[in-house]
Amino acid sequence: MPDSPPTLAQYCTALRQDPWAWQQVARRSRVMSEFRSVLARRGHLEQPPGHRPERWHGQPLALRALVTCGFARVYEISRSTFPGSTRCEAYEADADLTTMQDLAVDLLSTVAAVTAPMPGIVLTAKARGVSVHAAVGGVLGTTVTPDTSRETLQRLAVEQGIVVDEAASVAELVYAVYEQRVVPVTHAPQLYTDFPTNAFPLARTCAHDERLAQRWTLVAAGGEIAAATAEEPDPATIQQRMRTPDGDAEWWSVLAGMPPAAGITVHLDHLMTTPVSRIGGTTDESTQDDPECDGNSH
């Protein structure tokens, strides 16, 4: 997995002694500026994190609520003092995973231009993904599908030395293997698709299997570069998946009537330190014929 963000002392030492660290500060600023230009050109409005209603502070549903209120395209860039913690999150109404992949192409191409001669990833607009179950099966040495039993997954995970909770669900086991064994060994850029719905309760389900979520991740150099999700618009469905009580009725009423939408998160700092590569036509048989479940849907 990628290293943890440095301490304040480590960061200051790097800035004093390492010219590359200085260059990264300048590049990071330019990339954030270019991201804003791309998003503005596409009609997105920036929502500063500190300007969100206080009762929603820190909640992942905040930008969804803005889309529900009629802002068709919104985004925010969350910043930290240290590298490793900067991310851009954007939402768009009437969008799907194809829209998010097209947006990713625009955003990532700016990084390649800004970071030269240390270019970033080149993502092709027609790139297709490998299902997360296929990837998990690859590291476990067997075929893994949504029908694989919890007992089998837990046994295989334990045999591989993967840390899992004894009470973990099938979705949690699949995601644990993905995080601990798939992501760290993914060096060349790769799209992963078809994540378990129970692991992502805010995502729409795939047309061919409601156990799978309409979500893709872009992984390279042992870490996630970006992740996109087609959002579930029904708050009642979200509540049921999250197993939450009604709670604040006003909160859930804000989300009622949300249009079809999709969102993307880009981790800027990891992206900027990833070597150049190109994602081509890798295709997983489980998703290639289902346009609503991969990054090439229409």
Q: Please state the domain count of the chain.
A: 1
- The answer to whether residue 296 scores a pLDDT higher than 90 is no
Who's near 141: CB < 8 A, 6+ residues apart? 156
Assess contact for 74 and 91: CB atoms under 8 A: yes
Query: Is 131 domain-assigned?
Result: yes
Query: Is 29 domain-assigned?
Result: yes
pLDDT at 137: 96
Q: Mean pLDDT across the stretch 261-274?
A: 83
pLDDT at 274: 66
Query: Is 183 domain-assigned?
Result: yes
Query: Is 288 domain-assigned?
Result: no
Residue type, 28: R
- The answer to whether residue 290 scores a pLDDT higher than 50 is no
pLDDT digits (tens, 9 = 90+) for 17-31: 877 777 777 878 888
| Residue that wins the pLDDT comparison between 214 and 221 | 214
pLDDT at 95: 95
Assess contact for 218 and 224: CB atoms under 8 A: yes
| Residue that wins the pLDDT comparison between 208 and 20 | 208
Closest CA relative to residue 139, chosen from 182, 193, 183 = 182
pLDDT at 124: 62
Beta strands 261-267 and 223-231 are antiparallel
pLDDT at 32: 87
Q: What share of the chain is helix, strand, coil (3-state, %, to 5)?
A: 40, 20, 40
pLDDT at 245: 56
| Residue that wins the pLDDT comparison between 83 and 121 | 121
pTM value surpassing 0.75: yes
- Mean per-residue pLDDT of the chain: 79
Q: What is the side-by-side strand order in the sheet with 45-46?
A: 45-46, 73-78, 87-93, 261-267, 223-231, 212-220, 190-196, 130-131
Query: Is 296 domain-assigned?
Result: no
Provide the residue range defining the domain that includes 61.
Answer: 8-279
- The answer to whether residue 269 scores a pLDDT higher than 80 is no
Query: Is 21 domain-assigned?
Result: yes
Return the CATH number at 197: 3.30.930.10
pLDDT digits (tens, 9 = 90+) for 151-196: 999 999 999 888 888 888 999 999 999 999 999 999 888 899 999 9
Q: Dump strand ranges (E) for the chain.
A: 45-46, 73-78, 87-93, 122-123, 130-131, 190-196, 212-220, 223-231, 261-267, 278-279
Query: Is 244 domain-assigned?
Result: yes
Query: Is 204 domain-assigned?
Result: yes
pLDDT at 48: 67
- The Cα 87–Cα 271 span in angstroms is 10
- The Cα 117–Cα 115 span in angstroms is 6
